[in-house]
A and B are shown apart, each in its own frame.
Chain A
Amino acid sequence: MKTFKIRFFENRKIFFAISLGIMVIGLIFNVIFGTQLDIQFKGGAEIKYSFDGKIVQEEVEKIVQDTTKKDVTVHILENVKSSDGKSVKNNVSISFAGTESISVDNQQAIAKALTVKYPDANFQVVSSSSVNPTMGHSFFAKCMVAILLTCVLLVFYIALRFKKIGGMSAGVMAVLALLHDVIMVYFTFIIFRIPLNDSFIAVVLTILGYSLNDTIIIYDRIRENRRLMGPKTPYSVLVNTSINQTFTRSLFTAGCTFSSIATVFIVGQVYGISSVTTFALPMMVGIVTGCYSSVCIAGPLYVMWQNHKAKQKAEARA
């Protein structure tokens, strides 16, 4: 049976450089484009209508602006296929500037004004949302608290379960790897210019669980190998062996999950369902970085910490 013999610890600088490089790119994008919050978090309004025939973007913009006295951006999407493949519709989405929600009356007035202008277009609401900014902010704060709470509990659990291999250091390194993944997922949203919404929270939390699972499988092997190989084995050998032994599994699992989510993404893309694609794309990135960080970041970092501790101990004795 083939086993991998990759020197993960010795090559750690390459891995760290790759991660840091991607983060720098993400940061540059972030500085240029800024962070977009979805109206779920920052408040605001958006309406999407389906229609038949042709409409003119500038005219729609003007009509809506005149009715609501607010600045709007109008985006027309033509030939959206419905999933049964029978009907083809055009969609127009209207987003309002600012973070104020719009009233129901306003929304009715818009539909009326549009129908007056284009009587044959048969405007139908596809989706609409209008969020009050204070409620948006409180929802955002709640999501952040949820992520923080999860992280604390996870460190606590690992520290408890992996006492034998230095629970606290294992826990901290695992969470550093998690942080790495969260940052990567965040930059995916930034680079692809997807506004942060509740699917960002869902993706982050899933990747937290998923990446941690990867890390735990490796720690479990380290725990087992520590018993088998004895306390004399250097940490770098111990960790390299453990990562290599679990490497096939890491690849297989990441591959299976990745291809499943990729399928979801492709199908979502074909039918133009943005709620599915904006969820699936960052998830795909998360699965890759989740696997990568567990294998290439958490393990070597853990060895560095243990070597550092051993050195300190030796110095104290000298």
Chain B
Amino acid sequence: MKRVAKPVFFIVALLILFLTYSATFGIKGKNGDNSTTYIKGVGDIRWGIDINGGVEATFSPATSKKATKEQIDSAKSIIEVRLTTNHITDYELYSDYNNDRIIVRFPWKNDEKTFDPESAIKELSATAMLTFRAGDEYTTATTGSDGQPVYKTPKGETATNVILTGSDIKSAKSEMYQDQTTGKATYQVGMVLNDSGTKKFAAATESMQGKIISIWMDDVRISNPRVDAVITDGKCSIQGNFTAAEASALANKITAGALPFKLTTSNFSTISPTLGSSSLHAMLIAGMIAFGIICVFMLFQFRLPGFIAIIALLGQIALSFAAVSGYFAFIPSFTLTLPGIAGIILSIGMGVDANIITASRIKEELWSGKTLDGAIQKGDDNSFWAIFDGNITVVIVGVILMLVFGPSNILSAMFGASTTGSIYSFGYTLLIGIVGNFLFGVTATRLMTKSISGFKFARNKWLYGGAAE
């Protein structure tokens, strides 16, 4: 057997313990009163709405006619504006153009006192009130969850003088145009008004040359362009150094005020934060007890390899947490749901299995009369492919789950897009668990076993399940 240097055991074990510690508690620095998080721990994990509480709802247009992609997009933009102005972060929003659906999911805020999901859903899907108002006076200025300033509640002349409403607008589109003087291509929003709108707008732009007409959705200002010319033909444009995305976002919002349908809520589900947190607590207790049982079993049954297996299992659990908390800079944090936790528990089961297979194989070889080194080597070799094949089949299951239940999935063509359901999280944690299994349950365990068997105190075959010497 190729010997592994003695210190390797301690290096690997310490690395695992460090990973476990840092993935559990995170690494946080204090700079005066500000604490900065360098590495995220378990406390930073973003819990799914089944744990933290929250709302999931599906909205669809209340018409029998099929909505166009533009209409769905602008309906979506209404919801988005309302989410960000209500300081709801962490929301997920999907649109399904084939089936005319908009799906939104957001967790309940921690500081929220009352849990009133019905009003929240109603508020999001209410018909948007789009208004063009004279002047640009507002009551409050705050910052939305996307970091942009939010100007709310018109006042003064802006509150009283409404020039146009959503029903005056025929269409709004993002367009590209070439600047006459600089020749640079920029984006603008082109707007077409209907007859009533054309008349009102012609009068208003005549009297308000050089002044501002602000555009509002519900109670929130979405744009404040200046009147440059009198618009008599009902065709105008809004310019303002937009990027392509900004221009189409604004166009979507303006169209939203002129949508020919209302949004109805076809599906919704809510979970209160208290129910969620008690399930989390229960899972935590269960996890600790289960881990304790496994530790005791492994120690009694497999002695030294059992002890090593426990260290490796710690590493595997830590990796699972690290992969969802955003511990590694290159893996974004992931929403962990109850099935996701079940995925972690199951992958730990697979990890235990890998250790049991290897340790049993070593024991078998010892009883057939091999030397300690020979038995460890043979046991490792013989068990590898069984572990490999077993784990790859679980990988297949995990990948299918992620592909089928992900946001844009392989079955989208058949069933349309959906939210990342809670099963998606299960697939993810299962996959990460298998990676951890190869990394810790196979590689780290073997390095540690071979390395520790070089020490004199660890030469006794009894420690590996052999006959007492």
> Does B290 lie within 8 Å of A157, measured CB to CB?
no
CB < 8 Å A-B pair total? 223
Stretch at the interface among A60-68, A270-278, A295-303: A270-278
The contact of B117 among A125, A213, A221, A270, by CB within 8 Å, is A125
- Contacting residues, chain B, for A208 (C-beta < 8 A): 397
**Interface residues, chain A, with chain B CB atoms under 8 Å away:** 1, 50, 82-84, 101, 103-105, 107-108, 111, 124-132, 135, 138-139, 141-142, 145-146, 149-150, 153-154, 157-158, 161, 198-199, 201-202, 205-206, 208-210, 212-213, 216-217, 220-221, 224, 245, 248-249, 252-253, 255-257, 259-261, 263-264, 266-268, 270-271, 273, 275-276, 279, 283
Q: Is the CB of A111 within 8 A of B271?
A: no
A145 smallest CB distance to B (angstroms): 6
CB < 8 Å neighbour of A253 from B116, B119, B356, B392: B356
Find A264's partner among B118, B269, B290 (CB 8 Å cutoff): B290
Contact flags B413-444 to A (C-beta < 8 A → 1, else 0): 01110100111001000100000000000000
| CA of A150 to CA of B389, assembled, Å | 15
Closest-by-CB residue of B relative to A130 is: B268
B89, CB-defined interface residue at 8 Å: no
User: Quick check: A260 and B386 within 8 Å, CB to CB?
Assistant: no
* A220: contacting residue among B264, B293, B348, B389, CB under 8 A: B389
Cβ–Cβ contact B282 & A273, under 8 A: yes
Give CA–CA (A82, B278) in the complex, Å: 6
Min Cβ gap A215→B in Å is: 9
Residues of chain B lying within 8 A (CB to CB) of residue A255: 297
A36 CB to closest chain B CB, in angstroms? 19
Residues of A within 8 A of B416 (CB): 138
B455 at the interface (CB under 8 A from A): no
**Judging by beta carbons under 8 Å apart, are A206 and B397 in contact?**
yes
Shortest distance in angstroms between B71's beta carbon and chain A's nearest beta carbon? 20
Interface of B: prevailing SS: helix
- Indicate which residue in B58, B266, B294, B423 contacts A256 across the interface (CB closer than 8 Å): B294
Contact for A260 among B264, B338, B349, B400, CB less than 8 A: B349
B74 to chain A, nearest CB (A): 22
Q: Mark B379-402, 1 if CB is under 8 A from A, else 0.
A: 000100110011111101110110
Stretch at the interface among B3-11, B139-147, B189-197, B360-368: B360-368
Q: Which of A108, A125, A220 contacts B385 (CB 8 A)?
A: A220
Closest chain-A Cβ to B353's Cβ sits at a distance in Å of 4
- Min C-beta distance of B291 to chain A, whole Å: 8
Q: Are A201 and B423 in contact, with the CB atoms below 8 A?
A: yes
Closest B-chain residue to A47, C-beta based?
B270
Sample of 27 A–B contacts (CB below 8 Å): A108-B119, A125-B117, A125-B118, A127-B270, A129-B267, A129-B270, A138-B416, A146-B400, A146-B405, A150-B397, A150-B400, A154-B396, A198-B421, A199-B339, A202-B426, A212-B393, A213-B350, A249-B353, A256-B356, A257-B349, A263-B290, A263-B293, A266-B286, A267-B285, A271-B282, A273-B279, A275-B50
Q: Is B342 an interface residue (CB 8 A)?
A: yes
A267 touches which of B289, B342, B396 (Cβ 8 Å) = B289
- Is chain A's interface secondary structure helix, strand, loop, or mixed overall? helix
Inter-subunit contact A124/B415 (CB<8 Å): no
CB pair A268–B392 under 8 Å, yes or no, is no
Give every chain B residue within 8 A of A279 (Cβ-Cβ). 338-339, 342
Contact with A along B321-352 (1 / 0, CB 8 A): 00000000000000000110010011011101
Question: Residues of B at under 8 Å CB distance from A?
Answer: 50, 58, 101, 115-119, 121-122, 264-272, 274-275, 277-283, 285-287, 289-290, 293-294, 297, 301, 338-339, 342, 345-346, 348-350, 352-353, 356-357, 360, 363-364, 367, 382, 385-386, 389-394, 396-398, 400-401, 404-405, 411, 414-416, 418, 421-423, 426, 430
Measured between beta carbons, the chain B residues less than 8 angstroms from A268 are: 279, 282, 286
Q: A245 to chain B: which residues have CB within 8 Å?
A: 364
B404: nearest residue on chain A (CB-CB)? A146
B349's nearest neighbour on chain A, judged by CB, is A257
Q: Select A206's contact among B266, B346, B385, beta carbons within 8 Å.
A: B346
Neighbouring A residues of B405 by C-beta, 8 Å: 146
Q: How far is the CA of A157 from the CA of B58 in the complex (A)?
A: 38
A202 to B340, CA, bound (A): 10
Chain B residues, CB < 8 A from A141? 414-415
- B267 and A131 contacting across the interface, CB-CB below 8 Å: yes
Q: What is the CA–CA distance of A279 and B391 in the complex, to the nearest angstrom?
A: 22
Of A161, A206, A245, the most chain B CB neighbours within 10 A belong to A206
A1 touches B390 (CB 8 A): no
Q: Tell me whether A124 and B294 are in contact (CB under 8 A).
A: no
How far is the CB of A207 from the nearest CB of chain B, in Å?
10
Besides A252-B356, A256-B349, 19 new A-B residue pairs in contact (Cβ under 8 A), listed by A number: A84-B278, A124-B115, A125-B116, A127-B270, A127-B272, A139-B418, A141-B415, A142-B404, A145-B404, A201-B423, A208-B397, A220-B386, A220-B389, A248-B360, A249-B353, A253-B357, A256-B294, A275-B50, A283-B342
